[in-house]
Amino acid sequence: MTEPLVRPKRKNPLKRTRLPLSPQGTRSRTAHGLTAAAAEGRFALQTCLDCGAVVYPPRDACPSCLSARLPFRDVANGGTLLAETTVQTSTDPYFRERMPWRVGAVKLDAGPIVVAHLHGDVVESGRVRLEFKLDRSGSAVAIALPEKDTQNMADDPHLREMTCDPKFRRVLITDGRSVVGQAMAKTFSDAGAGIVFVGLANVWKPFPGLDTLRKIERVEIIPLDITDTESVTEQAEQNGARIDIVVNTAEHVRAGGIVGRHGMTIAREEMDIRYFGLLRLAQAFGPVLRSRGADGVNSATAFVNLLSVHALMNWPEFGSYSAAEAACLSAAQCMRAELRPGGVKVVNVMFGPLDTEWFQTVPPPKVTPAALANAVIRALKQGVEDVFVGDVAEDVRARLAVNPKALEREMAG
Amino acid sequence: MASGMTRKPYDGVVACAPVTIPYRRYSTNSAQWWIGRALHALIKAAGLRPSDIDGFAASSFTIAPDTAVGLTQHFGLTPRWLDHIPFGGASGIVALRRAARAVQAGDAEIVACVGGDTNHVDSFRKTLSTFSRFAQDAVYPYGSGGANASFALITKNYMNRYGARREDFAKLCIAQRDNALSIPHAMMKRKLTLDEYMSARPIADPIHLFDCVMPCAGAEAFLVCREDIAKSLDLPAIRILSTVERHNAYPTDPIQVRGGWALDADELWSMAGLKPKDVDFVETYDDYPVIMMMQIEDTGFCKKGEGPDFVRTHSFTNEGTFPHNTSGGQLSVGQAGAGGGFLGLTEAMHQLIGKPIGTQVPDARIGLVSGFGMINYDRGLSSCAAVLARAA
C-alpha cells in the first residue's frame, strides 16, 4: 500500500529551491512512437504487419521476419514482473537525487520483455499492467502499475514524478467569469488542489455564479485581466511562486469566417484574448513555473491550454476563431520546448463545440463545461499531453489521421 | 543451418608477446595514447619495427571520433589487414580468431591485436548513456544504473531460479582477489573477506560493491603470426586449439540464464580434441559474478543450474582446485574498457608461457579463456571462448 502524501507545510522562504533536472530524454526517432502513444495515454508497441510479432525495444526491422512494416499499435498491457532491483547508485544527476529507484523486467503477455519503472505496490512474480508515461524529459518511459488500483496509488513517488496530479497543488484558473472557469474551479477543488486561485477581470462587476464560485472550498479570487500585461505581471509577482498549475480558461467565441467578416475589430479581440493573452501568461508565469519543477510535493507541474479542436483544422463557420486557436496551438508547441527543462508539461486539451451560450446555434454533440473540467483533471492525473474531449474532437482527430484533405473539404460543407 | 563441414584447425598460427600497460584509475591521456603504449610495448617485446606490423585489430570504446583507420595514420602503420572490434568483453578472443585466420590465409603476416581505453572523470557516464540505441531508448532512462542494474535483474533471476546465494558469488570474488594480491597495478590491493563482501554497500540489489568492476584506463595486447616467425623472433608461442564465437544466442529466453557458449561448447571441445577436465586453469569474463557462474556451466564444467554447487566444491585460487581468473580478473585489477575483453587472454598467455605478472598456476599447459560482451538491452549479446596451449 502506498503511503498517502502529507499536505506540504508552508515553504521556508530562506531555503534554496532545488533546480529541476531531467532524466535523459534522447531517443531514436523510431522510439518516439512510444512518446506519441504516451502523450495520449495509450499503450502502443510496434506490431509486425507481416508476421504479427509484437516488438520492443523499438526497431526498424522485425526481429522475427525482417519486415519493415512495423507500425505502433495499441496492444494489451498485462504482464508479469519477472525480476526487480532497487538501484542505489546512478550516474545520472536526476536519479542520483531520487535514489533509491526500483526498476524491473516485465514479461508482457503480448510477448516482449520491457525494462520498466516500478510502482511501489508491484511485487516480484506478480501481475502488473504496464503504461507508457512521459517522464520529466518529455520522452516516453514504461512504468509497471499494480494490476488493480491500490489505495493512494497516485501518491507513489515514482508515479507522481510522471504525472501532474493536482492533489495538494495550487492552481490558477485564469478566468472565473466563464462557466468553463467556474466548472474548472469546482473540479480542481474536488480533486484536492491546495489552493484554487481564480482570476477575475473587473472584480467589482457582478455576474451569475459569483456567489457559488466564492463558496467553493479553497477558492481565492484574485484580480487578473489577461488582456492587460501589467495585471498579469503583477499577479505573477504576487502569487507566481505559489502556483503549480496554470489553466487558461480565457475564451472568445464568435461565429464568422475570414472573407465574410468586415473589419478587424473582432479578430483583434480574438487574438488579444486568446493568443496575446496566452503570451502574457506564458511570459509572466512561465519562468517561475520552469524554475519550480522540483520544488517538493507541490512542485510546478503543468500549463493547461484549453483549445478548440478546430485549431487542428479550420471550421469555416467559426473560421477566424479557428485561426486564433491555431495560433495558440502553435504557441503551445513552443512553450513545451521552453518549459521542458523544468519538467513542466504543457497539456493541450482539445474540445469540440461546448454546451455554452456562444455555441447556441451549433447542434449536438457538445461538451459540457463539467465534462471538460473532468477531462482536464483526468489528463493531469494520467500525465498526458494531448487530450481530445467529446465526440466532435475525437472525430476530427480520427479523420485528420486518415485524410486531412478530405477533412478540409468536408469542413467547408 | 549446420553445413556439417569441419572447421579448419589453426595449425601453424600462434599468439605471442602478451603485453599489459599498467592500469590507472583515471587518466588524463587519450585512448590513442594507451593504444600507442601497447603497440610500443609489442614491438619492444618482439624486437620488431612498426613497419613489420602488417595487420592491426583495435578494440576501444573511447577512440571516438576515430576508427581503426584513423589509428593507422596516428601510429604510422601501413597494414594490409585492419579490423575494429569494439565488442567489449568479447573483443580479445574475437580479435584472436580473426587475426589467426588472416595469418593462416596469408592476408597478413604479423597482426597486432590491441584492446585499450582511457578513463577520464565522467567518461564512464558518457559511455553508459550512449552505449547502444536500445540502451538509450529502453534502459538508461530507467534509473541510469548502467550495467549494474541490468546485471542485478539477471543475477536476481538466476538466484531465484537456481538457488545461488550471495555467499557463492563471494567465494568467486574472494578467491580471485587472492590471485590479484601479487599484481602490482591492481586497483584492489587488499585481501577481500567474506564479511567485507557481505556487508558492502548495495549498488542495485542483489549486486553490491564487490560484485562490480572498477572502470579504469589501461591496455592489453598480443601478436598473432605464423609459428615459424614467432620462433625466428625468439618469442614463446601459444597454440590456438579451438575457438567459438556467438552473438544474440537464445533471444527468446525471457531473462538471460545462459550465453552462446551453451550453444557452442560441444564444438569448442571437439575442435580442441579435449574435455573440460583437461584444462589446467580457466579465465572467465568477470564483469559480474553471475556471469562467471554461467560461463562455468555453459562451457561444460557442470550442468545448467549446478553452478552454485560447483562453486561450493572448488577453491578457485591459483594453487587450489580449478584455478580461475588467475590475475584477479577485472573485479580486482580493474576494467580498462575494451581492454577488459583482452585481460583473460593475455593472462592465459602469460601463464602458459610461464611468466605471469602474478603467481604461476602449477603445470599450466592448457587454458580456457571465455569472453562475454555488450549489454545492448537486457542481456549480454556476445559470447566467445578459446582453448589455448603452450607450444611444445
In a domain? residue B260? yes
What is the span of the domain harbouring residue B84? 13-122+217-237
Judge if B203 and B293 occupy the same domain.
yes
Judge if B279 and B343 occupy the same domain.
yes
Nearest CA distance, B255 vs chain A (angstrom): 8
With an 8 Å Cβ cutoff, the interface of chain B facing chain A consists of 124-125, 128-129, 133-134, 136-146, 148-150, 152-154, 156-157, 160, 201-207, 251, 254-255, 377-378
Is the ipTM beyond the 0.90 threshold?
yes
Q: A126 in contact with B at a CB cutoff of 8 Å?
A: no
Query: What is the pLDDT confidence band of residue B38, given thresholds at 50, 70 and 90?
Result: very high
User: Residue B139: closest CA among chain A residues belongs to which residue?
Assistant: A115
Question: Any bridge partners for residue A122, and if so which?
Answer: none
Best residue in B120, B133, B142 to probe A by mutation, most A CBs within 10 Å?
B142
User: Residue B253: closest CA among chain A residues belongs to which residue?
Assistant: A113
Residue A254: predicted pLDDT: 95
Whole-angstrom distance, CA of residue A290 vs CA of residue B338: 41
Judge if B205 and B331 occupy the same domain.
yes
pLDDT at B392 over 80: no
User: Residue B209: closest CA among chain A residues belongs to which residue?
Assistant: A89
In a domain? residue B183? yes
Q: A94 in contact with B at a CB cutoff of 8 Å?
A: yes
Residue A304: predicted pLDDT: 98
Nearest CA distance, A122 vs chain B (angstrom): 15
In a domain? residue B392? no
Identity of the residue in B124, B157, B205 whose CB atom sits nearest the CB atom of A86 = B205
Cβ-contact A123, A145 below 8 angstroms: no
Cell of A310: 478546430
Question: Average of pLDDT values for B355-370?
Answer: 96
In a domain? residue B390? no
**Domains of chain A: residue spans and CATH:** 32-160 (no CATH), 170-411 (3.40.50.720)
Residue A403: predicted pLDDT: 97
Judge if B137 and B27 occupy the same domain.
no
Identity of the residue in A82, A88, A135 whose CB atom sits nearest the CB atom of B204 = A88
Judge if B350 and B287 occupy the same domain.
yes
Nearest CA distance, A48 vs chain B (angstrom): 17
Number of domains in chain B: 2
* Residue type present at position A56: Y
* Subunit contact B153:A86, Cβ cutoff 8 A: no
Mean pLDDT by 10 residues, chain A (413 residues): 91 89 96 97 98 98 97 98 96 94 98 98 97 97 97 96 97 97 98 97 92 96 98 97 97 94 94 98 98 94 98 97 98 98 98 95 96 98 97 97 97 91
* Subunit contact A103:B142, Cβ cutoff 8 A: yes
* Subunit contact A31:B137, Cβ cutoff 8 A: yes
User: Residue A94: closest CA among chain B residues belongs to which residue?
Assistant: B143
In a domain? residue B6? no
Query: What is the pLDDT confidence band of residue B121, given thresholds at 50, 70 and 90?
Result: confident
Cβ-contact B329, B286 below 8 angstroms: yes
Question: In angstroms, how far is CA B67 from the centroid of its own chain?
Answer: 21
Judge if B152 and B287 occupy the same domain.
yes
Alpha helices, DSSP H only, in A101-156?
none
Query: What is the pLDDT confidence band of residue B74, given thresholds at 50, 70 and 90?
Result: very high
Judge if B160 and B242 occupy the same domain.
yes
* Subunit contact A83:B157, Cβ cutoff 8 A: yes
In a domain? residue B108? yes
Judge if B206 and B86 occupy the same domain.
no
What CATH number corresponds to the domain at position B146? 3.40.47.10
Residue B215: predicted pLDDT: 93
Judge if B230 and B281 occupy the same domain.
no
Neighbours of B65 (CB within 10 A): 5
Strands in B13-24's sheet, in edge-to-edge order, are B81-84, B55-59, B110-117, B217-226, B13-24, B237-247, B380-390, B366-375, B281-283
Residues of chain A with Cβ-Cβ distance to B153 below 8 Å are 82-85, 103-105, 115
Judge if B228 and B282 occupy the same domain.
no
Chain segment B280-333, per-residue pLDDT in tens: 999 999 999 999 999 999 999 999 999 999 999 999 999 999 999 999 999 999
Judge if B168 and B62 occupy the same domain.
no
Judge if B70 and B189 occupy the same domain.
no
Residue B2: predicted pLDDT: 56
Residues of chain B with Cβ-Cβ distance to A117 below 8 Å are 142-143
In a domain? residue B56? yes
In a domain? residue B20? yes
pLDDT at B10 over 70: yes
Chain segment B170-207, per-residue pLDDT in tens: 999 999 999 999 999 999 999 999 999 999 999 999 99
Residues of chain A with Cβ-Cβ distance to B146 below 8 Å are 91
Last residue of a domain, one of B237, B271, B287: B237
Identity of the residue in B143, B156, B377 whose CB atom sits nearest the CB atom of A95 = B143
